[in-house]
């Protein structure tokens, strides 16, 4: 009744799991560092250092990341238009 599993199938499953983990870590790193900090720096510049400060940065992390995404997309669009 039991299907025999070859070593190759086990190795393939392990490799896929490792690659998924690496992909997750890279995506998380991009979101957490690059997009978050682009959004935060942009908001600090636009609001002359008033937002986000201290606890606001933790509470509004989603808004900051959304701002970072918008800034990156608009930057790419503007560069592609004028270059």
Instruction: Encode pLDDT of 10-64 as tens digits.
Output: 778 888 999 999 999 998 888 788 999 999 999 999 999 999 888 988 899 999 9
1 is a domain residue: no
Assess whether pLDDT exceeds 90 at residue 3. Answer: no
Assess whether pLDDT exceeds 80 at residue 2. Answer: no
78 is a domain residue: yes
2 is a domain residue: no
Assess whether pLDDT exceeds 80 at residue 6. Answer: no
According to the model, what pLDDT value does residue 69 have? Answer: 94
According to the model, what pLDDT value does residue 60 have? Answer: 92
What pLDDT band is residue 68 in, cutting at 50, 70 and 90? Answer: very high
Range of the domain at 56: 7-82
> What's the number of domains the chain is made of?
1
By the 10 Å C-beta count (0-12 exposed, 13-18 middle, 19+ buried), 43 is classed as buried
């Amino acid at each position: 009744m039991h299907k025999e599993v070859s070593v190759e199938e086990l190795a393939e499953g392990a490799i896929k799991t490792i690659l998924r983990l690496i992909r997750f870590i890279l995506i998380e790193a991009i979101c957490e560092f690059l997009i978050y900090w682009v959004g935060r720096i942009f908001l600090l510049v636009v609001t002359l250092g008033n937002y986000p400060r201290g606890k606001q940065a933790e509470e509004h992390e989603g808004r900051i990341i959304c701002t970072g995404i918008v800034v990156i997309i608009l930057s790419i669009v503007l560069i592609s238009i004028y270059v």
